[in-house]
Structure 1
Amino acid sequence: MITTRDIAVRLELSVSTVGRALADDPRISQETKSRVRQTASEMGYVANRAARMMRGASSNVVGLVIPDIRNGFYSTIAHELSRNMETDGRQLILSETADDRMRELRHLTELSASRVAGVIIVPTARPHPDSVRLFSRLPHVQLLRRHPSLGAQWFGIDDFQVLQEATAHLVALGHARIGYIGGPRALPTGAERLRGFHSALREAGLPEETGTTRLGKPSSVTFGRQATRRLLDTADPPTALVAGSVQLTLGVLEELDSRGVAVPQELSVVGFGDEPGFSWWGPGLTTVRLPVKQMATDCALWLLNRLTTNPLDDTAHTSVSPGSLVVRGSTAPPRATPRRS
């Protein structure tokens, strides 16, 4: 491996001069810096970042900690964040928690030990106290989910608004028995989406029991299928369903396909997120479209500015992006005789 000593021998300079030139030290002339960089490039020199970090320098790496990259929602976010980091000469590194707070702690410990420049995190429902302590000395921002123990910098969507709008759409079509499949109340996103669902029912003057809920792991397609099955197998099944996450939506659609349910003739469906296949699923899925790309870009630019100006500034910052309902063919007025499984 080529070292600074090899470059120094080639140019007949001291090792310290070569090191300072590569570090853009103002004490070294531009002419010498150019010679050193050109020679380093020709010889295939790669900087020893680990050694630099041992001397107190941080890396150009930014960590992204998310529950599940298989979720198209998170993969889109990861892509947009990576693109923005690359533009600024930084690299994004990915960690998955599966919504397990101990895995979250292990990832954060490694990221901190690697002296990452900052972290973007979709936190678990109850971060470990040691995770909270790590964050106190690590530049970070929360994305989508917000936990008060991790600071007051957050970029998210209006979870209440999107579920209220989705449910109100079904109510306006005449549905009085609506099922909701969503994440647990322990997650701030889950709690807000559930609140939006119930709010739409109350505003329509419908009793709360007309809205049947099944709450579970939001990143589980399997739970989406199981919850759909349980709702449709009740004595008085709903005439419409609303899903509260992308993965749960996929589970709902898989179960409806396997049972041969005619949508929207037998059951109206509103999904969450607008995955590429949703527009051509069945009659076209009515769904909540989320401003994922814009939110990720805004989050990245905010963090990059913070890393440049004042990395440990803990001034509160909140950005809430609204979603929108895309109406397609999967929703219609309920038929006169409700379907029973």
Structure 2
Amino acid sequence: MPVTLTTVARRAGVSTSTASRALTGHPSVLPHTRQRVEAAAAELRYHPNRIATALRTRRSGLVGLVVNNLRTATFHVIAETLQARAAAHGLQVLVCTTGGDPAREAAFLDTVRAQGLDGVVVAGSGANGELVNTLVAEGRAVVTMNREVGGARAPSVMSDYATAARLAAEHLLALGHTRIGAVEGPPEVTSGRLHHAGFAAALDTAGVPLDPALVRRGPFRAGFGRDAARELLDAPHRPTALLVSNHEASFGVLAELSRRAVAVPAELSVVCTEDEPFWGFWTPPLTVVDNRAAVLAERAADLLLAQLDDDAGPPEPAAEQVAPELVVRGSTAPPPVS
């Protein structure tokens, strides 16, 4: 026969309600009673019935996480950090990877509703504002990350993309570069738009004209990064430095530089505005602007847990930004003397 809460209560010599309160950490239970109940539960190998618990408490103990992928450092650091924080609060995380597809994201958000998850962190496509607002209206904890979700009434946490690009460009300008190529995300996406704005602002402040021929904007794919690097390196007046604004493009850019045996930084300086664990072991180690993904995830967890602990009503749709940090390594130097 399956071990039930009633079985545990009988073994511990307490009522079922007392056993329930003891196992959920209720402060009204005396320490010696809690210890007796916990010992009985361990002896009987009791596992709470999650469905029954959800019906009784109106909480499932489950939260969702939407990410585009788990290949790049930003997303897998977000997933690992959020799971650790959730586990410390007795929560489990269901992770959905969508490839940035709004339809797959919407399907998972529908599942969050249908399966009664307590909340969700959406670090996804930037779409599905209506679904996000439906979840908020239903009283679920919701946090959006990384991309603006138009019209969403949930709190959000984002990297300061404009500052990241500005820091990278200012570093290259300070070294003496004026022909800086930029490989950026698409203009219709939050990070792509803001990166470009930060890059342009840094050039403008330095009195360096923005040359559209040195800018490539496109999808978050290694293939795009490879093609962009190829075009910029084949240009009649090629850049002396490259600023690459995302993980995916940087993989393709670096592959093309290796294929051509470009000497970095003697021939070309390179800065990436998202860090990867192995960038520090690259030859040469890559200068980056770290978006501090762990801090992003910690703040998202704070906002999610605050909503789960607060019965005061829907949260304020406040937007937070996490400041990036320039990490200077060996891939940047003054431009070559012509």
TM over 0.5: yes
Q: Secondary structure at the match of 1:314?
A: coil
Q: Secondary structure at the match of 2:74?
A: helix
Correspondence for 2:2: 2
Shift in alpha-carbon separation, 1:256–1:8, aligned structure 2, 3 A: closer
8 Å CA contact 2:65, 2:79 repeated in 1? yes
Deviations 1:216-244 (A, max 9, x none): 222x2222222212222233322211011
Q: Secondary structure at the match of 1:334?
A: coil
C-alpha displacement of 1:334 = 2.0
Shift in alpha-carbon separation, 1:7–1:198, aligned structure 2, 3 A: same
* TM-score normalised by structure 2 residue count: 0.87
CA distance, structure 1, for counterparts of residue 215 and residue 242 of structure 2: 10
C-alpha displacement of 1:19 = 6.1
CA distance, structure 2, for counterparts of residue 65 and residue 311 of structure 1: 26
CA distance, structure 2, for counterparts of residue 33 and residue 129 of structure 1: 45
CA distance, structure 2, for counterparts of residue 4 and residue 165 of structure 1: 59
Correspondence for 1:198: 200
C-alpha displacement of 1:257 = 0.9
C-alpha displacement of 1:284 = 1.8
C-alpha displacement of 1:295 = 2.8
C-alpha displacement of 1:319 = 2.4
Amino acid at match of 1:228: A
Identity of aligned residues (%): 33
8 Å CA contact 2:54, 2:60 repeated in 1? yes
CA distance, structure 2, for counterparts of residue 59 and residue 275 of structure 1: 35
Shift in alpha-carbon separation, 1:5–1:261, aligned structure 2, 3 A: closer
Shift in alpha-carbon separation, 1:264–1:5, aligned structure 2, 3 A: closer
Shift in alpha-carbon separation, 1:260–1:149, aligned structure 2, 3 A: same
Q: Secondary structure at the match of 1:150?
A: coil
Q: Secondary structure at the match of 1:156?
A: strand
Compare 61-70 and 294-303 and name the one that shifted more: 294-303
Correspondence for 1:22: 20
CA distance, structure 1, for counterparts of residue 237 and residue 63 of structure 2: 50
Q: Secondary structure at the match of 1:149?
A: coil
8 Å CA contact 2:6, 2:16 repeated in 1? no
CA distance, structure 2, for counterparts of residue 267 and residue 174 of structure 1: 12
C-alpha displacement of 1:35 = 5.6
Shift in alpha-carbon separation, 1:177–1:12, aligned structure 2, 3 A: closer
8 Å CA contact 1:7, 1:39 repeated in 2? no
Residue 43 of structure 2 corresponds to residue 42 of structure 1: yes
Correspondence for 1:103: 104
Correspondence for 1:133: 134
Amino acid at match of 2:147: R
Deviations 1:46-101 (A, max 9, x none): 22212333456211122111111111111112111112112222222211111100
How do residues 27-106 of structure 1 correspond to structure 2 at under 5 angstroms?
37-54=38-55, 57-106=58-107
8 Å CA contact 1:269, 1:330 repeated in 2? yes
C-alpha displacement of 1:159 = 0.9
CA distance, structure 2, for counterparts of residue 265 and residue 294 of structure 1: 34
Deviations 1:272-325 (A, max 9, x none): 223222123122211112222223223212321221123742213332221121
Q: Secondary structure at the match of 1:302?
A: helix
Aligned length: 333
Shift in alpha-carbon separation, 1:36–1:289, aligned structure 2, 3 A: closer
8 Å CA contact 1:112, 1:134 repeated in 2? yes
C-alpha displacement of 1:130 = 4.0
Shift in alpha-carbon separation, 1:251–1:135, aligned structure 2, 3 A: farther
Correspondence for 1:158: 160
CA distance, structure 2, for counterparts of residue 304 and residue 186 of structure 1: 31
Amino acid at match of 2:7: I
Structure 2 gap ranges (5+)? none
Compare 89-98 and 65-74 and name the one that shifted more: 89-98
* TM-score normalised by structure 1 residue count: 0.86
Correspondence for 1:291: 292
Shift in alpha-carbon separation, 1:55–1:41, aligned structure 2, 3 A: same
C-alpha displacement of 1:188 = 1.4
CA distance, structure 1, for counterparts of residue 321 and residue 80 of structure 2: 20
Correspondence for 1:234: 235
Shift in alpha-carbon separation, 1:265–1:58, aligned structure 2, 3 A: same
How do residues 151-190 of structure 1 correspond to structure 2 at under 5 angstroms?
151-190=153-192
Amino acid at match of 1:133: T
Shift in alpha-carbon separation, 1:5–1:184, aligned structure 2, 3 A: closer
Amino acid at match of 1:148: G
Correspondence for 1:243: 244
Shift in alpha-carbon separation, 1:128–1:147, aligned structure 2, 3 A: closer
CA distance, structure 1, for counterparts of residue 106 and residue 198 of structure 2: 31
CA distance, structure 1, for counterparts of residue 309 and residue 131 of structure 2: 27
Structure 1 gap ranges (5+)? none
Correspondence for 1:222: 223
How do residues 307-322 of structure 1 correspond to structure 2 at under 5 angstroms?
307-310=308-311, 312-322=313-323
CA distance, structure 1, for counterparts of residue 283 and residue 34 of structure 2: 62
CA distance, structure 2, for counterparts of residue 330 and residue 8 of structure 1: 62
